[in-house]
Chains A and B, each alone.
Chain A
Amino acid sequence: MKKKTIFGHWEASAIIMNLICTKIFLNFPRMAVEEGGTAAWIFAIYIAILAILGFTVIQKLYKPFEGKDLLDVAELAAGNIGRILVGFVILFCLGWGTVAYMRMFSENMKLISLTTSPLSYVELYFVVCLVTGAYFGIEALSRLHAFVVPVITVGFLLIMLGAVNYIDPGNLMPLLGNGLSAIFIKGAQKVSDYSEILVLFLLASFLKKYEVMKSTGYWSLVLASVFLVISVLVFSTVFPYPSSLEITIPIFHVARLIKLGRFFQRVESVFLFIWAASSLLYITVNFYLILFTFQKAFRLDYYKPLIIPLSIIVMSLSFLPSDFAEVVTYEVELFRSWSWVPAFVMPILLLILARRKHRKSAESGGNEPQDS
């Protein structure tokens, strides 16, 4: 009998945290400055609150569906068609995340470290990692996250602390930056930066208990928002607005500044290490979840035969955008403006539908699912 994979609260929290926080190393601090100006930190706190509120609604609706992932819920709500449609939406979100991040990580890596290596060569490392990760499966990946994510966190906090000499709190003035409407109305759609919370609803079947899923959601969201806000605060106090808008890789620039005496400098090597670790984990988990969703949506017995073909497709798709700026535009202006719909609205609608069905089936004598 096949052993059922179950992992704990910390492993799942580490996965979600890394998925949400990886964008710190890419473009989140600059994007926050674009939205909020000198009030980027208010904007970062605001979208964190929105994400936590969104999750609160979802987890309350999730209560009767303990141990079921979003695809199971979709099936309960709308049958096979519902499961397949939701599968497609999730595949699109995860697929875009994998393709876009693979291209962005590789381009940035080329920009700052492997300048003369061909892009395909850089991407090959990512492909090897995601193939290996997919072969080992979610249990190995979750255990890996459990001890690598704390190392990444320590590295990140060291960089933030090291930049303390360059911090000027005056750079946070004027207090309301780009204005109330830019932050609270236009900025609200950027709650999409937390759209990786969608993964938690896919991991629900591995977490088993509703309580574990609930605490994992809150812990990962709160910790991720703390790190996102710290990154924005440090970045916008070190680089004053509007010069901060020019910077490609914000935290890399912060790390480059750190110089404690003549001997402790060039801390960007720490950044490179944690950045590479975080991005490899991000892409690997995303890729595994693509396979998982595909398998579950189409009720396949095995997912391993899909690994090599899908990895080739992912790598090929990542070459489609003509340049780095194009990927950033699609990611920031399109995906991160609308991914709140599949991440927050879709689960809410599915759960409401599934609850209604459940109530109807209970009235007609059905007994599944159980309200805990």
Chain B
Amino acid sequence: MKTTKPAVITRVIKMDRGKRLIAIIMLVAICPLLASCYDAREVDDLGFVIAMGLDRGKTNTLRMTLQIAKPMAGADGGGSGDDLPYEQFSVEAPAVFSGLNMINTFASKQISLTHLKVVVFSSELAREGLKPYLNAMLRGKEFRPNMPIVVARHTAEEYLQSVDPKLVTNAAKYYELVFQSYKYTGLIPKVEFHDFYLASKSPCRNPVAILGDAGKFLSAEEFDIKNSTYMDHHRSMPFEGDFFAGDIPALGGARAGNVGLAVFEGDKMVGELDGTNTTMYLLCTGDYIHSYWTFPDPLAEGRYVLMDVKQSRKPKHRVEFVDGKPRIDIMLNLEGDLVAVQSDIDYETGDNSLVLESAAEDYIKDHVQKFLDKTINEFQSDICGFGAYARAHFMTWAEWEAYNWHTKYKDATFNLTVNFKVRRPGLILRSGTSEAMESRRDDQ
């Protein structure tokens, strides 16, 4: 019986010598690919850093603190009891990468920064200037451009030590979520390394960083509001944003907290803004999403109207020059949904609604104006990036550079317009209707 060879084999046999040679060369060339290469690294052999803290060192230039994830601690059923999902290492070194070398000598796994979620600088280091460290982060390919930048009001080591996530078992997820809270609190800025670095070198804006600190209260008995900024805002008691990080009278969860922002001029930190001013910053830059606001009731003293305030449209900016000085027009478009009306006054419809809208506009305008004045008088730093709108008045880069925006910003004046609309009344359509009917019945 005649046996037939498979088609592939027949084709190879029929190949001429040249083609057979090429096929052999190609097969040989594929071999190194199958055997992996010099850069092969097993995931299990690497220690993934999730947070990095940089402080001024005692024995060397830097004290570097690394939080390295313990993979099983974050997995379902893994870890035991109160075990933290990471291990913390500290080392004093002349620079970031030399510190990594030193930690690699005693950490059992090779350190990798490819999953780094946050970099924390101490305010001491930030006030001296971050240029030497930013350069390393841009050059080093393991640093991600999306990682948030935090300035710890005391030390970065203490801040990282106080991170003890209670609601998530995965520390990396904790960092990913906690710095997204600007979207629903408005109390921290939106900052990524990419933005921070570009702003630190920009001739038309200055960077900001998230302000963080370890909470200073260990029990409810210790609570106080002496570091609150409520008096600066002319209030009788603190609102939710009238604090800096670490000063909020709160317990539970991770002790590390983030409220407010660190103001920079170039790569040097020049001041801090509290949570309320951070909200105004977000409004001016257009990064504001939504959050709950406490407005003083315009018709009932001592009572408050709470609203979920959203940005209905991005802010509009225009920069004009009057006698060589910048005049900045800002138009904010906001809308609010009623969440609570303590006085039970009917703000849903009619004239009361207009009164509330007008009061909200004045309230916001006043706060934004104070925030902008602070950037001029206290910091002389254009953190909102108005310089980017001023550039359009110049034809060439040389002309723009010669104008020197950073020195002119202190002479800027602002023209603010706030449009506020109460959109939805929540689940109550007419406040106080039943009470009004009851009193009418009593009268009859």
**Residue-wise interface mask of A (112-134) relative to B, using a CB-CB cutoff of 8 A (1 in contact, 0 not):** 11111110010000001001100
Beta-carbon contact of B38 and A121 below 8 Å: yes
In the docked arrangement, what's the CA distance between A112 and B37, Å?
Answer: 15
Q: A114-B37, A115-B39 are in contact. Are A174 and B145 (CB under 8 A)?
A: no
Chain A residues positioned under 8 Å from B198 (CB to CB): 239-240, 243
B residues 381-409 in Cβ contact with A at 8 Å: 388-389, 391-392, 394-400
Does chain A have a CB within 8 A of B244?
Answer: no
Beta-carbon contact of A114 and B39 below 8 Å: yes
User: Per a CB cutoff under 8 Å, which of A166, A242, A262, A304 touches B176?
Assistant: A262
Interface centre among A135, A174, A257 (most CB of B within 10 A): A174
CB proximity of B112 to chain A, nearest CB, Å = 12
Beta-carbon contact of A131 and B38 below 8 Å: no
Chain A residues positioned under 8 Å from B18 (CB to CB): 135, 304
Chain B residues positioned under 8 Å from A262 (CB to CB): 176
Chain B residues positioned under 8 Å from A243 (CB to CB): 197-198, 201-202
Does chain A have a CB within 8 A of B141?
Answer: yes
CB proximity of B2 to chain A, nearest CB, Å = 34
User: Per a CB cutoff under 8 Å, which of B176, B202, B398 touches A240?
Assistant: B202
User: Per a CB cutoff under 8 Å, which of A113, A253, A257 touches B39?
Assistant: A113
Beta-carbon contact of A173 and B38 below 8 Å: no
Does chain A have a CB within 8 A of B98?
Answer: no
Does chain A have a CB within 8 A of B220?
Answer: no
Does chain A have a CB within 8 A of B194?
Answer: yes
Which one of B6-14, B22-30, B80-88, B120-128 contacts A? B22-30
Nearest B residue to A127 via CB reads: B29
Does chain A have a CB within 8 A of B138?
Answer: yes
CB proximity of A262 to chain B, nearest CB, Å = 6
In the docked arrangement, what's the CA distance between A174 and B397, Å?
Answer: 6
Beta-carbon contact of A178 and B146 below 8 Å: no
Beta-carbon contact of A257 and B194 below 8 Å: yes
Does chain A have a CB within 8 A of B144?
Answer: yes
User: Per a CB cutoff under 8 Å, which of B39, B176, B197 touches A117?
Assistant: B39
Interface centre among A135, A170, A259 (most CB of B within 10 A): A170
Beta-carbon contact of B398 and A257 below 8 Å: no
Question: How many residues of chain A have a CB within 8 Å of chain B?
Answer: 40
Beta-carbon contact of A37 and B397 below 8 Å: yes
User: Per a CB cutoff under 8 Å, which of B37, B391, B395, B396 touches A121?
Assistant: B37
CB proximity of A266 to chain B, nearest CB, Å = 9
Nearest B residue to A118 via CB reads: B38
Beta-carbon contact of B396 and A174 below 8 Å: yes
A residues 129-182 in Cβ contact with B at 8 Å: 131-132, 135-136, 166, 168, 170-171, 173-179
In the docked arrangement, what's the CA distance between A253 and B193, Å?
Answer: 13
Beta-carbon contact of B38 and A132 below 8 Å: no
In the docked arrangement, what's the CA distance between A242 and B201, Å?
Answer: 8
Beta-carbon contact of B25 and A132 below 8 Å: yes
Q: Total number of A-B contacts with CB less than 8 angstroms? A: 80
Beta-carbon contact of A176 and B201 below 8 Å: no
User: Per a CB cutoff under 8 Å, which of A128, A132, A179, A246 touches B396?
Assistant: A179
**Residue-wise interface mask of A (241-269) relative to B, using a CB-CB cutoff of 8 A (1 in contact, 0 not):** 11100100000010011010010010000
Beta-carbon contact of B397 and A132 below 8 Å: no
**Residue-wise interface mask of B (146-157) relative to A, using a CB-CB cutoff of 8 A (1 in contact, 0 not):** 100000000000
Beta-carbon contact of B141 and A173 below 8 Å: no
In the docked arrangement, what's the CA distance between A256 and B146, Å?
Answer: 8
**Residue-wise interface mask of B (22-63) relative to A, using a CB-CB cutoff of 8 A (1 in contact, 0 not):** 100110010000000111000000000000000000000000
Beta-carbon contact of B37 and A256 below 8 Å: no
User: Per a CB cutoff under 8 Å, which of A111, A170, A240, A257 touches B145?
Assistant: A257
Does chain B have a CB within 8 A of A38?
Answer: yes
In the docked arrangement, what's the CA distance between A38 and B144, Å?
Answer: 26
In the docked arrangement, what's the CA distance between A259 and B144, Å?
Answer: 11
Q: A112-B141, A121-B38 are in contact. Are A259 and B146 (CB under 8 A)?
A: yes
**Residue-wise interface mask of B (273-311) relative to A, using a CB-CB cutoff of 8 A (1 in contact, 0 not):** 000000000000000000000000000000000000000
Q: A128-B29, A265-B146 are in contact. Are A174 and B38 (CB under 8 A)?
A: no
Beta-carbon contact of B25 and A131 below 8 Å: yes
Chain B residues positioned under 8 Å from A136 (CB to CB): 22
In the docked arrangement, what's the CA distance between A264 and B202, Å?
Answer: 29
Beta-carbon contact of A170 and B392 below 8 Å: yes
Chain B residues positioned under 8 Å from A121 (CB to CB): 37-38
Q: A38-B397, A179-B398 are in contact. Are A174 and B392 (CB under 8 A)?
A: yes
Interface centre among A118, A175, A177, A240 (most CB of B within 10 A): A240
Nearest B residue to A304 via CB reads: B18
In the docked arrangement, what's the CA distance between A113 and B141, Å?
Answer: 9
Beta-carbon contact of A177 and B397 below 8 Å: yes
Nearest A residue to B38 via CB reads: A117
Chain B residues positioned under 8 Å from A115 (CB to CB): 39, 141
In the docked arrangement, what's the CA distance between A136 and B194, Å?
Answer: 45
CB proximity of A246 to chain B, nearest CB, Å = 7
Interface centre among B144, B394, B396 (most CB of A within 10 A): B396
Chain B residues positioned under 8 Å from A38 (CB to CB): 397
In the docked arrangement, what's the CA distance between A243 and B135, Å?
Answer: 12
B residues 307-346 in Cβ contact with A at 8 Å: none
CB proximity of B204 to chain A, nearest CB, Å = 8
27 A-B pairs whose Cβ atoms sit less than 8 Å apart in the complex: A37-B396, A111-B141, A112-B141, A113-B39, A117-B38, A121-B37, A128-B29, A131-B25, A135-B18, A135-B22, A136-B22, A170-B392, A173-B392, A174-B391, A174-B392, A174-B399, A175-B395, A176-B396, A178-B396, A178-B398, A179-B396, A243-B201, A253-B145, A256-B144, A256-B145, A262-B176, A304-B18
Taking A246-B138, A253-B145 as given, write out 13 further A-B residue pairs in contact, using a Cβ cutoff of 8 Å, ordered by the A residue number.
A117-B38, A131-B25, A132-B26, A170-B388, A171-B388, A173-B388, A173-B391, A174-B397, A176-B395, A177-B397, A178-B398, A240-B202, A256-B144
Query: Which are the 9 A-B pairs with shortest beta-carbon distances?
Result: A117-B38, A173-B391, A128-B29, A174-B394, A170-B388, A173-B392, A37-B397, A116-B38, A179-B396
